[in-house]
Structure 1
Amino acid sequence: MPSRSIRAQTLGFMGWLALVLLAGGLGALASVEAASFYAQLNRPGWAPPAGVFGPVWSLLYGLMAVAAWLVWREPAQPSRAPALVVFVLQLAVNALWSWLFFAWHRGAWALADVLLLLVLIATAIALFRRVRPLAAWLLWPYLAWVAFASALTWAMWRANPGVL
């Protein structure tokens, strides 16, 4: 059990949650017109309706915040700082995807971004596992969703060459 006080742990959790929600909010700024843009795209038959994305991302962001907090609250060790740096880096790459895809309509760049995001999430999972295995497990749904999002990004980029 970490030696931080309950107050420090609570503030730490609130800080990680705020950081994750900030990244989500920055992505959401680019997604203001996402539903109408998404509806105009040629989508594969397996593409979910636009209304699915908000609830899924809300759940994933919650899991991400808990995972980062679990790693943060562990005693200092050589893997903890790199794990949290990779986690913060993947948050930035995550937020950038919405800008590339929805705001700037750059399909190839969005695909490159989401593939980099996959690598960063897998790296975060590996690093989190060294510090707190439960935290790594909490990121697996995120990795699965981003793998799905990667395939969807590729399919929509290829199906909408004049738009993306």
Structure 2
Amino acid sequence: MSRLASRGQLRASFIRWALLCIPAVVLLGLLSGAASGNGDGNPWFASLDKPALYPPPILFPIAWTVLYVLMGLALALVCNAWGARGRTAAIFAFVVQFALNLAWSPLFFAAHQITAALILIVAMGIAIVATMVLFWRVRRAAAVLLVPYLAWVCFASVLNYQILALNPQADGASSSGAAQRIAI
């Protein structure tokens, strides 16, 4: 016998990794967004001027859900690559870029730090590229699955920059939720 595991055993191992990674990534991503009050339901964000290329708000939860599924699938492919050279470094890089991802929504939507969020999202893009390079060395398909994520983060970086340019007064602004009093 020249193989350590049959094809069926390898497939079952991947399925177990996918059943762990995909829901974990999707759940953490959605919780980060929900906990920070992201989107047009956020009064501070709703009051901001949006750039012309800002897509319909319904697109964001759909896009992020698809991207989180692809990210979880990519991670499962790498986690399943037992004995692959660079596997641990690739998983570590994924965790770093994902932590940056999870930090962006609270920084932007809850803390209203548009400039800091822009710096963070640029760092996230760099971390995604590093993750893709390391994933490519372990499982090429895993790196390819991250291409839409990188494209979306580049687009989100442009949106972040344009929102900052249109709303410099809102950077770091506190939002108490209290009504503004106007004297006549």
Q: TM-score, normalized by length of structure 1?
A: 0.91
How far 1:140 moved relative to its partner?
0.3
Measured in 1, the distance between the counterparts of 2:38 and 2:10 equals 43
SS at match of 1:50: coil
Q: Does the aligned pair in 2 maintain the 1:2–1:75 contact within 8 Å?
A: no
**11, 17, 27: which one pairs with 2:32?**
27
Supply the AA of the counterpart residue of 1:55.
Answer: I
Q: Deviations over 1:95-150 (max 9, x none)?
A: 11000110110011100110010011101110111111111100000000000000
| Structure 1 Cα separation of the partners of residues 102 and 142 of structure 2 | 21
> Aligned letter for 2:48?
L
User: Which structure 1 segments of 5+ residues have no match?
Assistant: none
Moved over 2 A (4+): 1-11, 29-34, 36-39
- Provide the aligned C-alpha RMSD in A: 1.9
Report deviation, 1:78.
2.8
Q: In the aligned structure 2, how far is the partner of 1:26 from the partner of 1:128?
A: 26
- Provide the rounded CA distance (Å) in 2 between the counterparts of 1:9 and 1:2: 15
In the alignment, does 2:71 pair up with 1:64? yes
Q: Distance in 1 between matches of 2:109 and 2:87?
A: 34
Distance apart, 1:32 and its partner CA? 2.6
Q: How far did 1:6 drift?
A: 4.9
* Paired position in structure 2 for 1:104: 111
Name the count of aligned residue pairs: 164
Q: Which has the higher helix share?
A: 1
Q: Distance in 1 between matches of 2:143 and 2:13?
A: 22
1:64-95 per-position Cα deviation (integer Å, ceiling 9, x unaligned): 11111111111313311111111111111101
TM-score scaled by length of structure 2: 0.82
